[in-house]
Structure 1
Amino acid sequence: MGTPLGDFIRAKRDSTQPETLGLPDHGRRRSPGLRRSDLAARAGISVEYLTRIEQGRDRNPSVAVVNAIADALSLAPAERDHLGYLTKITGGACSGHTEPAPPPREVRPSLLATLRLLEPGVAMVTNRLGDVLAHTSGYELVTSGSGLLDADIPNLTRYVFTDPRARTYFADWDDVAAEHAFDLWRAPSIENSEWLTAELARTAGVDFTRRLHRHAVPQRGVLRLNHPTEGRLQLLREILELPADGQQLVVFHPADEQTAQSVDRLRRRPHARLRSIS
């Protein structure tokens, strides 16, 4: 049985072409990407050891080995961070590590006060599971008509993968889906596992599980939305991590003048106050 660490290394090796690392192309290969022997040689480890890591038979490689594999694959900083995180959770699962409790859905009063200061801007508080825990009236305006906030506890990940309207609302649905699948790796394991087994893995099917195990680190570029009355909105995102809470404060800014004007028109309409869900 594989591990998240092994899955990521294998997926990255399969997607890396030898020529990008200055290696000769040996011609036809049984699998795409970089040969296991080439990666092992670049990392200074044996092919057998690399095979054990990829197949999940060695769950506790040393920091030196993990760094050597990261160097050999020429991982970007975000990919190195993800590799380190997967090494940690893979080793923890092997050593009987006690999983953390699911995060609280309550938002601290001081964080809610901060969110109010951002009114009438577009901002929200979320967690790694995709729960929208609190949001400004501006966020409600740009998501109006999409169905995203219809649930008692709105959840972006559930919406993206199970609501057909999401594929129209998000102009770059594939990129958004990749982001939310990736973020689930940072969600607490107990709630994450129960939720995936009980809901997403069953209702979203193979498309979701394929994205989850791809371990593709998202770029998080401009968020492009198709608003039902204002048309295309383009938003930049500032994501402020709140590690102690297991939450994120996300602030959205218009990426162009047309979006700024559209958001301004939406603000002139009657709208709701800041909403907190707990």
Structure 2
Amino acid sequence: MTELGEYLRACRARLTAEQVGMPSSGHRRVPGLRREELAALAGVSVDYIVRLEQGRAKSASTEVLTALASALNLRPDEEEYLLRCAADTGSSASRARSAVPRRERMAPATQLLLDSMTGVPALVLGRRMDVLAWNSLGAALITDFGKLAPERRNHIRLAFLDPDVRGMYAQWEKVAKECVAYLRMDAGRYPDDPELARLVGELSMKDADFRRWWSDYHVRAQRYGRKEFIHPTAGELSLDFQVLDVRGAADQTLIAYTAEPHSRSAQALTFLAGWATTERPAPQT
């Protein structure tokens, strides 16, 4: 079974005939859309769907994959993941080019930008959701990254395995599921990254929720949203976050948290900024 096959099966299992405008045919032995129904919607043969899911198809055209994505009601980021999975079934040369990503380096100007964002908690994440840099308010909000060994500075690892960080999210399950979906998206870009494989292995062994959600094959690109925090110093905060690409640095994103003006969360963030200035050392990378 290939990644493409596993993903197609997972996407089929999440859909019902009614959701795609097809009549239900009574009791089903397994949940989800049948192969025959997906084949009819995408305009391909059932045998071809079987070969794709079992990893026996040597290749799949972009047109066929786009048709499958449309039939499965995939979002743009989910379709991107489907296309990446299909590309990974190609030649060994194409796999070798994406097997081991280069070591990530952050430009000093990016750290200066973070430090200038005095009223906004901000982080720079790299591949695998590694925390590459932060400002003082970002550390005050999440955790003191400077006290962690570099290999432990990982956003999803902290969300699952650090009790203090995990307990700070008022809607931990929602945040954790989103993190798993982000990481799954990253796995589509670098399917043979050994560091990512080690991270997934560690989280799978140590957390049953991660293990279950990872096998669900939900994918999602990081963009924007809102998180609810229960901070030990600042109390309850409801913060919007924006995810911005760092130009010139592949796979690096800047995440900034903001509060509604004049809200209680804005007041709490101002208090936290003052506390961070007096209580915490300057940020490190």
User: What's the TM-score, normalizing by structure 1?
Assistant: 0.87
Confirm whether residue 238 of structure 1 aligns to residue 226 of structure 2: no
In structure 1, distance between residues paired with 2:217 and 2:73: 16
In structure 2, distance between residues paired with 1:157 and 1:92: 32
In structure 2, distance between residues paired with 1:217 and 1:249: 20
Q: Which residue of 2 aligns with 1:130?
A: 129
More moved, 178-187 vs 227-236 = 178-187
CA distance change for structure 1 residues 75 and 46 in 2, over 3 Å: closer, same or farther?
Answer: same
Q: Which residue of 2 aligns with 1:15?
A: 14
Confirm whether residue 174 of structure 1 aligns to residue 173 of structure 2: yes
Q: What SS does the aligned partner of 2:88 have?
A: helix
Q: What letter corresponds to residue 84 of structure 2 in structure 1? A: Y
User: What's the TM-score, normalizing by structure 2?
Assistant: 0.85
Q: Which residue of 2 aligns with 1:210?
A: 212
Confirm whether residue 87 of structure 1 aligns to residue 86 of structure 2: yes
CA distance change for structure 1 residues 15 and 22 in 2, over 3 Å: closer, same or farther?
Answer: same
Contact 1:5 1:87 (8 Å CA) reproduced: yes
Confirm whether residue 158 of structure 1 aligns to residue 180 of structure 2: no
In structure 2, distance between residues paired with 1:124 and 1:86: 29
More moved, 75-84 vs 232-241 = 75-84
Confirm whether residue 201 of structure 1 aligns to residue 198 of structure 2: no
Give RMSD over aligned pairs: 2.5
Query: Which portions of structure 1, spanning 4 or more consecutive aligned residues, are displaced by more than 6 angstroms?
Result: none
In structure 1, distance between residues paired with 2:93 and 2:54: 14
Following TM superposition, by how much is the alpha carbon of 1:150 offset from its aligned partner in structure 2, in angstroms?
4.5
Q: What letter corresponds to residue 194 of structure 1 in structure 2? A: R
More moved, 77-86 vs 45-54 = 77-86
Q: Which residue of 1 aligns with 2:269?
A: 263
Structure 2: segments with no counterpart, 5+ residues: none
More moved, 147-156 vs 60-69 = 147-156
Q: What letter corresponds to residue 253 of structure 1 in structure 2? A: T
Q: What SS does the aligned partner of 2:128 have?
A: coil
In structure 1, distance between residues paired with 2:206 and 2:231: 26
Confirm whether residue 253 of structure 1 aligns to residue 250 of structure 2: no
In structure 2, distance between residues paired with 1:84 and 1:58: 14
Q: What letter corresponds to residue 148 of structure 2 in structure 1? A: A
What are the superposed Cα offsets for residues 147-201 of structure 1, whole Å, 9 maximum, x if unpaired?
Answer: 776522221111122223344211222222222222333154232123333x323
In structure 2, distance between residues paired with 1:210 and 1:183: 15
Q: How many residues align?
A: 272
Q: What letter corresponds to residue 149 of structure 2 in structure 1? A: D
What are the superposed Cα offsets for residues 86-111 of structure 1, whole Å, 9 maximum, x if unpaired?
Answer: 22234366965343434434321121
Q: What SS does the aligned partner of 2:177 have?
A: helix
Structure 1: segments with no counterpart, 5+ residues: none
Q: What letter corresponds to residue 284 of structure 2 in structure 1? A: S
Q: What letter corresponds to residue 203 of structure 1 in structure 2? A: K
Q: What letter corresponds to residue 87 of structure 2 in structure 1? A: K
Following TM superposition, by how much is the alpha carbon of 1:66 offset from its aligned partner in structure 2, in angstroms?
0.2
In structure 1, distance between residues paired with 2:102 and 2:173: 27
Following TM superposition, by how much is the alpha carbon of 1:275 offset from its aligned partner in structure 2, in angstroms?
2.1
Which one has the bigger helix percentage?
2
What are the superposed Cα offsets for residues 224-261 of structure 1, whole Å, 9 maximum, x if unpaired?
Answer: 11101322211111111236332111111114611101
In structure 1, distance between residues paired with 2:163 and 2:135: 25
Identity %: 33
More moved, 188-197 vs 168-177 = 188-197
Q: What SS does the aligned partner of 1:26 have?
A: coil
